[in-house]
Structure 1
Amino acid sequence: MRASIAAIGAALAATLLLSGCSGAASAGSATGPAEELRLGYFDNLTHAPALVGLEQGFFTDALGETTLNAQAFGAGPAAIEALSAGAIDAAYVGPSPAVNTFVQSAGQSAVIVAGATIGGAALVVRDGIDSPADLAGTTLASPQLGNTQDVALRSWLKSEGYETSTTGGGDVTVAPTDNARAFTLLQSGQIDGAWLPEPWVSRLVLEADAHVLVEEADLWPNGEFPTTVLLVGADFNRDHPETVRALLEGHTASIAWLNEHPTEAAAVINKKLAADTGKPLADAVIERALGGLHFTNDPLADTFSISLQKAVASGTAKDGDLTGLFDLTQLNGILAAASGAPISAAGLGTE
C-alpha cells in the first residue's frame, strides 16, 4: 500500500494541477458547488493532511470560488456535534466518532469519503508504571468520552482484566480530558497516564519524563490502524458532489505532498500549528511524532467493524449496521485519473 501511494504521488499532483478549479465553476446552485465549505480539523499531527492542505493552499486552490472556512476542534465528538448541528459540512475525525454518528443516525448523518492518517497513538504513563499490573487504582486520561483514543484505552484495559466506567470509577479511572490539560496533569503528577494522539505522545515522552506503555500499533494486524478519516455530512455529500470532489482533490494533493516531501513536512505543519495555537512544536517532538505516522487516502475500511465492536464493549457506543458508512466513489475517480489503484470500502459502502 505504501509503495503504491508513493508511486502515484507525482501523477496525482499533475492531475490536480490540470483540474484546477473546475469543481467550483457554478457556486451557489442547488445542484452545483456550494458557496461555502465549513471544514473541521484538530491541531494534532494525526491531522497533518488537513494542516498541510490548509497551509499549502491545496483546499482553496481546488475549491476555487467556493469559500473555505476551517475550524479547529479539540476531539472528535465535539466535531461531530458541530456536524450534526449543521455548523460544519465536513471534518477530519477519528474512526470512533465517525462510526458513532453513523450508527446513531441509522446511516443518515455522514459518510467517510477518504482516509487520512494511520498510526500515531499510544498509552503514555508516569515513572513507576512498567506493566499492565501496575495500573490498578490509577487514573488515566483520554481526549474525550467516546473518541477514538478513549475507546482504544477502555478496550485495552478490558482485555487486561480491568473494569472501567463511562461515569468514573472502576478498577482504573478513565478521565476524559483535553489533550493540553492531560499533558499538564501528567507532568505535575495529578494523573498517572494518558492514551493520546501525536504530538502529545511525543511531548509527554520528551518533555514530561513519561514513557510509552502501549503502542496502539502493536494491537492491530500489521501495525496498521486508522487514526484520522475525512467525514462529510450526508446531505452535503448528496447536494454538492462537485464541492466534495474539490475537497477530495485538495485532500489527495495534501496526502501526495506529505509522502513526497517528508523533509519539508515538519516545517509546514509547524507553521500552521503556530498560527493556530501561538506556539510551534519543538523540533525533536515533531520529528519523533512524524516517525510513527503514515498518510494515506485509504481509510482501512475493514477495521471499522472491529472499532465498533470495541466501542460497544467499552460502553461508549451502541451496535449497528455499518453498511453505507463509506462513499469512496469520488476518491477512486480522482485516483483512477492519476493511474492509481482503487480503494476498497470492504463491503461497507460504494467505491
Structure 2
Amino acid sequence: MIKMMENKPSLGDNVKVDYLVEQTPDMLNPKLLKGEIEIATIPTNSAANLYNKGVGYQIAAMNTWGVMYVLSNGVTVNNWADLKGQQIDTASKGAAYDVVFRYLLSENGIDPEKDLTLKYISSPVEQAQMAIAGNSKITVLPEPWVSTVLSKNKNMKLALDMQQEWTRINGADVPFAQTCLVVKADFASKHPDIVDKFLQEYANSIDWVNKNPVAAGELVTKHDIGIPADIAGSAIPRCNLRYMSSTDAKSAIEKYLQVLLDFSPDSIGGKLPDAKFYYQK
C-alpha cells in the first residue's frame, strides 16, 4: 500500500482517503471492532476472528504469502530433521506463526512437544534482540526482523523457509495465506466502485513494490512505517507479496484457517467462516 500512500490516487469524485499506520494488529483491532475503518490489511486469522464475532468485514484480497523463516547461529540446520533435539526460540504460544511452525514440524514427523524444546519469548522484538546479541542458536522470526537480525549478526544464517515448506506439503496452488486485505461489508455494498478502484490501485502498488524494493524501502521510511529503509528494502523480496482476489485465493485461505482451527481454534474464533466471508462485487 506504500505506493498509494505516496501517490494518493483518486478513488472517485469527493472521495477522501486517510491512511493510518499502526505498529501491530492489536493496536488496530479496537478500531475494527468499532467499525471505524473501511479497509484494512490484517493477518488472515484476525480477519476470520472478526468475522466470527459478527464484526462486518470480508476478505477482499490476499497480499502476503508468508514472511516466516528459521534462523540459526552455530548450529547446522539444512533440513527440518536437523531441528530434532534443539531448543528453538519463538514467540506468542498459540499465535498464528507458532501454530504454523508446529504444523510444519508435525508434517515432517517431528513432535513439537517431545522431539525438541520450544522456548517462548515475549515478542519478536525481544527475539530479535537475543539473536543479534548471539544469545539464540535457532529462532523463528518474521520479516522485517529477519533482515534486521541478518544485518546485525553476520553469524546468524537463514536456515529454513517456512513458505517453501508449506508449499511442498500442500502444493503450489495452496500457498501460505498469511495476510489479507479486508473491507467493511456495508461500505462495500454501498460503494462497490470505490472498493474496486481501491483494489486496482492496491494491486498496482504491490506490483510496483516488488519491482522497486529499494525505492519502496525509502517510502517506508518517508511515511513513518517504523522500519529503516535499508531493512525494508532487504525484507521485501522475502515477504512474498502478491495480489490475489479472495475468491481466487479461497482454497489457500481455507487450508490455512483449517490448520489454525486444528491447532488453536481460538485463533480464528472457533470455526471456519462461511461463504459470506469472501467479498464479491
TM-score by length of 1: 0.63
Mapped contact 1:120–1:293 kept (Cα < 8 A): yes
From 62, 65, 90, the equivalent of 1:118 is 65
Mapped contact 1:126–1:211 kept (Cα < 8 A): yes
Deviations along 1:68-123, one digit per CA (max 9) or x if unpaired, are 22222334454344311234222112222222222343xx5310112223343222
- The RMSD of aligned alpha carbons is 3.2
**Secondary structure in structure 2 of the residue aligned to 1:295:** strand
1:293 and 2:240 equivalent?
yes
Rounded to whole Å, the distance in 2 between the matches of 1:77 and 1:279 is 18
Q: Who is 1:250 aligned against? A: 201
Q: Who is 1:219 aligned against? A: 166
Rounded to whole Å, the distance in 2 between the matches of 1:156 and 1:323 is 27
Cα shift at 1:278: 6.1
Mapped contact 2:57–2:182 kept (Cα < 8 A): yes
Rounded to whole Å, the distance in 1 between the matches of 2:251 and 2:18 is 32
Q: Who is 1:205 aligned against? A: 150
From 320, 329, 332, the equivalent of 2:272 is 320
Rounded to whole Å, the distance in 2 between the matches of 1:78 and 1:207 is 28
Q: Who is 2:181 aligned against? A: 230
Match runs of 1:53-202 below 5 Å: 53-58=4-9, 61-105=10-54, 108-128=55-75, 130=77, 131-136=82-87, 138-141=88-91, 146=95, 148-159=96-107, 160-163=110-113, 171-177=117-123, 179-190=124-135, 193-202=138-147
Match runs of 1:2-41 below 5 Å: none
Cα shift at 1:63: 5.0
Cα shift at 1:291: 5.4
Mapped contact 1:157–1:163 kept (Cα < 8 A): no
Mapped contact 1:237–1:244 kept (Cα < 8 A): yes
Rounded to whole Å, the distance in 2 between the matches of 1:83 and 1:287 is 31
Mapped contact 1:125–1:211 kept (Cα < 8 A): yes
Relative distance call for 1:273 and 1:192 in structure 2 (3 A) is: farther
Relative distance call for 1:324 and 1:278 in structure 2 (3 A) is: closer
TM-score by length of 2: 0.77
Amino acid at match of 2:113: E
Gaps of 5+ in 2: none
Amino acid at match of 1:112: I
**Secondary structure in structure 2 of the residue aligned to 1:195:** strand
Rounded to whole Å, the distance in 2 between the matches of 1:193 and 1:110 is 37
Q: Relative contact order (alpha carbons < 8 A, sep ≥ 6): 1 or 2 greater?
A: 2
Cα shift at 1:181: 3.8
Deviations along 1:155-204, one digit per CA (max 9) or x if unpaired, are 3345420139xxxxx94233351x44432232124555543332322322
From 242, 260, 272, the equivalent of 1:311 is 260
Rounded to whole Å, the distance in 2 between the matches of 1:129 and 1:141 is 22
- Number of aligned positions between the proteins: 263
**Secondary structure in structure 1 of the residue aligned to 2:14:** coil
Deviations along 1:11-49, one digit per CA (max 9) or x if unpaired, are xxxxxxxxxxxxxxxxxxxxxxxxxxxxxxxxxxxxxxx
Identity of aligned residues (%): 18
Mapped contact 1:73–1:79 kept (Cα < 8 A): yes
Mapped contact 2:90–2:118 kept (Cα < 8 A): yes
Gaps of 5+ in 1: 1-49, 165-169, 330-351
Rounded to whole Å, the distance in 2 between the matches of 1:203 and 1:62 is 36
Q: Who is 1:348 aligned against? A: none
